[in-house]
Amino acid sequence: MTTADGAVLGATKIVDGGSSALRWELVIMGDGFRRGELGRFEAETRRVVEAVLRTPPYDELRAAINVYRVDVASTDSGATDPVDCAGGSGAVKRTYFDATFCGDRRNRRLLVVDEATAQTVAAEKVPGWDAAMVIVNSTVYGGSGGKVAVLSLAPEAVDLALHEFGHSAFQLADEYESLSGCGRPGDADHAVHPPGEPPEPNVTVNTDRATLKWRQLVAPTTPLPTSRNANCRQCDQQDSPQPPGTVGLYEGADCYHCGAYRPEFDCKMRTLPAPYCAVCRRRVRQTLTPLLPPVPPVAATAWGPRRLDLFVSGGGQACHHKWFDGSAWGPSLDGAWQGQGGILLGPPEAVSGGPRRLDVFAVGSDHALYHKAFGNGGWAPSLTGWRRLGGVVQGQPEAVSWGPGRVDVFVVGGHRALYHRWSDDGRWQPASGFERLGGVAISQPHAVTWGPGRLDLFVVGGDRALYHRSFDDGGWQPSFKRLGGELSGEPAVVSWGSGRLDVFAVGPGQVLLHKFWDGAGWQPPQTGWEPLGGALVGSPAAVSWEPGRLDVFHVGRDRAVYHKWFDGSAWKPSTDGWRRLGGQAVGAVSAVSWEPGRLDVFHVGGDRAVYHKWFDGSAWGPSLDGAWRRLGGSAEF
Amino acid sequence: MGPSTGPAPRGAVRLTFRYEGDQVWLVSRRRVDKLLPPDEEAQQAAERQGFFAEVRSADGRVLDRRLLHDLVPRDREVFADPEGSPVRVPVERPAGIFSLLVPELEESDHVALVERGPYGQAAADALDVGDRRVAANELIRVPLRGEEHPGAAP
């Protein structure tokens, strides 16, 4: 039984969250499937993947995940099942990964594979793999963990895989309180956890509320410890003293009866059917949230009433364009997009400085910044050509225009500092390259202008606070000013007129935060922020159609788009309330307004097509909380 | 002066190791086109017990630290009861391979696999409760510069 007992046939990306370099990648391989059974492997893989992606918090993070299916044909069907273990059939199967029950010659449920071979195949097919799984063609319940999660076709085995991902991909500890099983021989020996704080985020020996690893999730009224085991020679027998979901300190964890604590009474890292506890969900989010697409996949701009231009990175990573001219979508509604060439690393950026003027920027495969412009009825340098503006860019560019003929573009470059170039009537400045604006950004740059000669630049700094630097009277402020916050994702900035700035960002608990400049100072003052509710996945989008009006959008944990607005006197539908606009977005949302009363909102759906919803001043089209209009395309990000 | 004066995003390195008992060998080192966000938990866990991968500069500064769970497992989980908790059974002869991804940073010189404080009852007996002066045991140090290492254990 070796790799001679089969062959690796190929890999297929079955969940496409985007570029391999920027996503968490799960590889699923099969064992004990003969060539004629690979259809079943495909179906079983789909079932497992759907179950994983339905499980919180993976359900809200699917845009950060790629899944690959690796088809492996084995000589025999099934798995070896030695009679050494009670119930073993004695079957000996020749399979590629040597799947066998009774992996320790004592426990039939211990279904193991050759982990070295599985890791080698995973690396050959998906060099950047983060987690690997082998599905074994047997309906007998079984599985194992380690470097590779192994599971049989038994439906309950999916929970086993989710438990193992907790270990192998997110470094979570076991939250059960026995090594050999409660009440089993040897159980009494695992009484008290040794001293020293375990490194894993979900178990602790520390009972100090002030320094506890998950103190932010513990309510002040929850007693600590929350439960104690009265007899350390056995597992705790009591029921939970708190309602389900209460985060505290429950004694019994990390395979010890006493001295170690878990965050909730139950968790998937303790018993398999349970959901992940809040601390484990937080760890998964902490790992995967930075891999969510940082900027909206659709760049949308309007040069005037009844005009829209959309740009995405489409098939072959080329730039693709679609436009609305007031009467119809070009080149067509739900069909082709106009190819505009290039090999883009991430979504393009688009801005309009006036009627019939577009400037589009993108980062090329050499990490340099590229530009093309539409004016005088045509594209320059050509429809599919791009002009190289140089640099080595990290992430995506941000562009603004304060009027015809003027465009400013910002990028994050070396040492995560901010850099700037601008064009006056087609002449790029500085002529020699980029102007260095300094700072250390962990976000993309975000810029806005309230009129000629004024620029405001925002980034999230290394301490996760927001930083701001403005350009006025022909010069930049001397340095970035810290505006506070403990932010994740990308902020959104908008100006409804001279002397007004509104900034939106994602704060702790994935709540939307707001701060504004009223011409005299920041409100709330200094480093304060106003919470506006929500449960954001990814980053917000903000737009203003006239002074006093703000519209903000985000994608929620159910992947629907949500909306709230400020009408000049109050937030609607309420300060922390949001109106659901439906949809199934896999990236952040984009919004644009071409005139007062008009909103156009775009997202990319699970089929990678672009979807559109609009507000015409009286109602949402095609409907409020229902269908979106499909604009086709195949966006990559 | 422009962005081109700084480093390009440099991706990651996949390191594959073979282990047998307490011995760990490098099997391969390959560059991977992947951007790895920092492991925030590992930064906070620097003084805790456990296994870590530390990317260091030539002068020994830790540039990146990643938490590694159960690097050299001495037991395995058995899932006898789909409705209940798993149990652990000892591994007779710990041996196998593992791989990890570390970021390729501008000043990266080498990566060290570090075990801070023995993690078990025997070690606990030798420690005072609350003692945070955990000893760091470097299991292996692997250079990150130079040609890729396609594989070969000693």
- A619-626 mean pLDDT: 90
What the block records as the tokens of A224 is 């600590």
> Does A338 reach chain B within 8 Å, measured CB to CB?
no
> Does A433 reach chain B within 8 Å, measured CB to CB?
yes
- A434-448 mean pLDDT: 91
Residue B119, pLDDT above cutoff 60: no
> Does A176 reach chain B within 8 Å, measured CB to CB?
yes
Q: What is the pLDDT of residue B123?
A: 41
Q: What value does the mean pLDDT of chain A take? A: 93
pLDDT confidence band for B92 (50 / 70 / 90):
confident
Rounded distance between C-alpha atoms, residue A303 and residue A490, angstroms: 25
Q: How far does CA B140 lie from the centroid of its chain?
A: 10
- A201-226 mean pLDDT: 95
Locate the chain A residue with the closest alpha carbon to B67.
Answer: A171
Which of A272, A411, A436 has its CB closest to that of B82?
A: A272
Better-scored residue on pLDDT, A33 or A506: A33
Residue B4, pLDDT above cutoff 50: no
Locate the chain A residue with the closest alpha carbon to B129.
Answer: A195
Percentage of chain B exceeding pLDDT 70: 72
SS3 A629: strand
The answer, yes or no, to whether the previous bond of A381 is cis (omega within 30 of 0) is yes
For residue A119, the distance in angstroms to the closest alpha carbon of chain B comes to 8
Is there a contact between A180 and B88 if contact means CB atoms under 8 Å apart?
yes
Rounded distance between C-alpha atoms, residue A555 and residue A63, angstroms: 11
For residue A576, the distance in angstroms to the closest alpha carbon of chain B comes to 29
> Does B67 reach chain A within 8 Å, measured CB to CB?
yes
Cβ pair A128, A149 in contact under 8 A: no
Cβ pair A303, A356 in contact under 8 A: yes
- A445-471 mean pLDDT: 93
Is there a contact between B41 and A115 if contact means CB atoms under 8 Å apart?
no
Rounded distance between C-alpha atoms, residue A3 and residue A6, angstroms: 6
Q: Which of A18-27, A463-472, A516-525 is least confident?
A: A18-27
> Does A194 reach chain B within 8 Å, measured CB to CB?
yes
Q: Output the CA torsion sign for A48, A53, A58, A64.
A: positive
- B90-116 mean pLDDT: 89
Residue B130, pLDDT above cutoff 70: no
Burial A168-197, CB ≥16 within 10 A → b, else e: bbbbbbbbbbbbbbbeeeebeebbbbbbbb
For residue A278, the distance in angstroms to the closest alpha carbon of chain B comes to 15
Q: What is the pLDDT of residue B121?
A: 39
Residue B2, pLDDT above cutoff 50: no
Is there a contact between A415 and B32 if contact means CB atoms under 8 Å apart?
no
Rg (CA), chain B: 18
Kindly report, residue by residue over A34-74, the tens digit of the pLDDT.
Answer: 999 999 999 999 999 999 988 988 877 877 899 999 999 99
Smallest CA-to-CA distance from A101 within A117, A116, A85 is with A85
Kindly report, residue by residue over A326-356, the tens digit of the pLDDT.
Answer: 999 999 887 799 999 998 888 999 999 999 9
Chain B residue numbers touching A103 (CB-CB < 8 A): 76
pLDDT confidence band for A142 (50 / 70 / 90):
very high
How far, CA to CA in Å, does A233 sit from each of A177, A204, A316, B88, B119?
11, 19, 62, 17, 21
For residue B147, the distance in angstroms to the closest alpha carbon of chain A comes to 17
Q: Which of A19-23, A133-137, A154-158 is least confident?
A: A19-23
- A442-451 mean pLDDT: 92
Q: What is the pLDDT of residue B46?
A: 65
Residue B8, pLDDT above cutoff 60: no
pLDDT confidence band for A544 (50 / 70 / 90):
very high
- A231-243 mean pLDDT: 95
For residue B154, the distance in angstroms to the closest alpha carbon of chain A comes to 17
Which of A147, A163, A179 has its CB closest to that of B98?
A: A147
> Does A173 reach chain B within 8 Å, measured CB to CB?
yes
> Does A128 reach chain B within 8 Å, measured CB to CB?
yes
Better-scored residue on pLDDT, A557 or A171: A171
Q: What is the pLDDT of residue A216?
A: 85
Is there a contact between A271 and B68 if contact means CB atoms under 8 Å apart?
no
Residue A410, pLDDT above cutoff 70: yes
For residue B62, the distance in angstroms to the closest alpha carbon of chain A comes to 17
The secondary element (H helix, E strand) that includes residue A282 is: helix A278-288
Residue B48, pLDDT above cutoff 80: no
Smallest CA-to-CA distance from A31 within A7, A67, A66 is with A7
Rounded-to-5 percentages of helix, strand, coil across chain B: 10, 45, 50
> Does A294 reach chain B within 8 Å, measured CB to CB?
no
Q: What is the pLDDT of residue B10?
A: 56
Locate the chain B residue with the closest alpha carbon to A195.
Answer: B129
Is there a contact between A198 and B48 if contact means CB atoms under 8 Å apart?
yes
What the block records as the tokens of B27 is 């099997």
Test the A interface: residue of B31, B72, B87 with most A CBs within 10 Å: B87
> For the CA atoms of A472, A478, A484, A488, what is the dihedral angle to 10 degrees?
80
Global pTM value: 0.69
- A453-475 mean pLDDT: 92
Q: What is the pLDDT of residue B45?
A: 67
Could you write out the DSSP letters of every residue in A2-33? -TTSEEEEEEEEEE--S-GGGSEEEEEEEES-
Is there a contact between B84 and A116 if contact means CB atoms under 8 Å apart?
no
Chain B residue numbers touching A115 (CB-CB < 8 A): 96-97
The secondary element (H helix, E strand) that includes residue A550 is: strand A550-556
Residue A501, pLDDT above cutoff 50: yes
Q: What is the pLDDT of residue B69?
A: 84
pLDDT confidence band for A1 (50 / 70 / 90):
low
> Does A199 reach chain B within 8 Å, measured CB to CB?
yes
Return residues 87-116 of B near A (CB < 8 Å): 87-89, 91-92, 96-99, 101, 116
Smallest CA-to-CA distance from A255 within A201, A195, A190 is with A190
pLDDT confidence band for A370 (50 / 70 / 90):
very high
Is there a contact between B3 and A393 if contact means CB atoms under 8 Å apart?
yes
Is there a contact between A119 and B98 if contact means CB atoms under 8 Å apart?
yes
> Does A428 reach chain B within 8 Å, measured CB to CB?
no
Residue A17, pLDDT above cutoff 80: no
> Does B7 reach chain A within 8 Å, measured CB to CB?
yes
Q: Phi/psi at A509 (nearest 5 deg)?
A: 75, 10
Q: Phi/psi at A545 (nearest 5 deg)?
A: -95, -15
Residue A449, pLDDT above cutoff 60: yes
Q: Which residue type is seen at A489? A: G
Rounded distance between C-alpha atoms, residue B78 and residue A111, angstroms: 9
- A612-618 mean pLDDT: 97
For residue A484, the cross-strand partners are: A466
Residue A179, pLDDT above cutoff 60: yes
* Beta strands, E only, A35-86: 65-74
Residue A637, pLDDT above cutoff 70: no
Rg (CA), chain A: 27
Q: Phi/psi at A35 (nearest 5 deg)?
A: -50, -45
- A204-222 mean pLDDT: 94
How far, CA to CA in Å, does A289 sit from each of A307, B10, B35?
34, 21, 13
> Does A216 reach chain B within 8 Å, measured CB to CB?
no
What the block records as the tokens of A623 is 């409907």
Rounded distance between C-alpha atoms, residue A621 and residue A597, angstroms: 13
